[in-house]
Structure 1
Amino acid sequence: MASIGANIKARRRALGMNQEELARKLGVTQANISRIESSVKGLSSDMLLPIASALSCDVRELLGLKCDDRTELSALGEDARTFVTRTLENDPQLALYLRSFVKDQDSFTEEDWKFLASSLRLALGYAVDAIKTRRVRDGF
């Protein structure tokens, strides 16, 4: 089983992120990230959630635990449908993109699906960060 540090490093690399970028998101130094990834420095439990959030993944993934994707997908259910509907109502252009993806999905390769998932993860991660920043700035 890989260490937590190795899992963090693998996840960061999978996102194409360097240590400095992750450090900036977390408000720590690049050297701190390097020590965490190489397991030189122990990782406090209160850092796990921020790291998972910065890497757009579940804490369980960083801990090396298996996640049951079917359980997570079924838990999304109606909430996911509501989220997508509300998002599309706020930007009709997104509906055009979504229709295009749905129409062409049978021609997607596994690499296309991975790229799409990675792109969505990055976009949603950026959106979460921007919303948090805006709320802090505006005093919410």
Structure 2
Amino acid sequence: MDNINKNLYSTVGLNIKKIRKVRKLGQEELANMISLSRSSVSNIESGKHQPSLSVIYELAAALDCELHELLPSVKTFNTFKSLIEDKYLNVITSKYSNMSNESLNFLKEILQDDEK
């Protein structure tokens, strides 16, 4: 799983946990509402499991919230994306500081393509 997806699913999990606690629901109770195991809910909340879109919809319904309350905002997504891109550029520039800008950008593109 690439870093962007990992961060996105972690954010979804944290949002689920936050709303579940506001609703005063335990993991077991939420799991029973959508026919999942308690450990599955725990893994989703901790970002260890990537729930399908249909499970995210079921979670939103069970938590009586809108889908957008569970998903990261576009601003958050763009922040994750730019941090990952900056990480590549920082690694490249620190290791290959004597290379031209054109060469540095070429290496950055290769690293990004490699993650797809």
Q: 2:43 aligns with which of 21, 35, 44?
A: 35
Instruction: Indicate the residue corresponding to 1:50 in structure 2.
Output: 58
Cα displacement (A) at 1:65:
3.6
Q: 1:25 aligns with which of 33, 38, 42?
A: 33
Q: When the two structures are superposed, what TM-score results if normalisation uses the length of structure 1?
A: 0.44
CA distance in 1, matches of 2:57, 2:68: 10
SS for the counterpart of 2:59 is helix
Alignment of 1:39-118 (within 5 A): 39-65=47-73
CA distance in 2, matches of 1:58, 1:64: 12
CA distance in 1, matches of 2:56, 2:64: 12
| Higher Cα radius of gyration | 2
The list of structure 1 runs, each at least 4 consecutive aligned residues, that deviate by more than 6 angstroms after superposition, is none
Greater RCO, 1 or 2 (C-alpha within 8 Å, sep 6+): 2
Instruction: Indicate the residue corresponding to 1:110 in structure 2.
Output: none
Q: Show CA shifts across 1:89-134 (max 9, x none).
A: xxxxxxxxxxxxxxxxxxxxxxxxxxxxxxxxxxxxxxxxxxxxxx
Cα displacement (A) at 1:46:
1.3
Instruction: Indicate the residue corresponding to 2:11 in structure 1.
Output: 3
CA distance in 2, matches of 1:6, 1:47: 15
Q: When the two structures are superposed, what TM-score results if normalisation uses the length of structure 2?
A: 0.53
Structure 1, unpaired ranges of 5+: 67-140
Structure 2, unpaired ranges of 5+: 1-7, 75-116
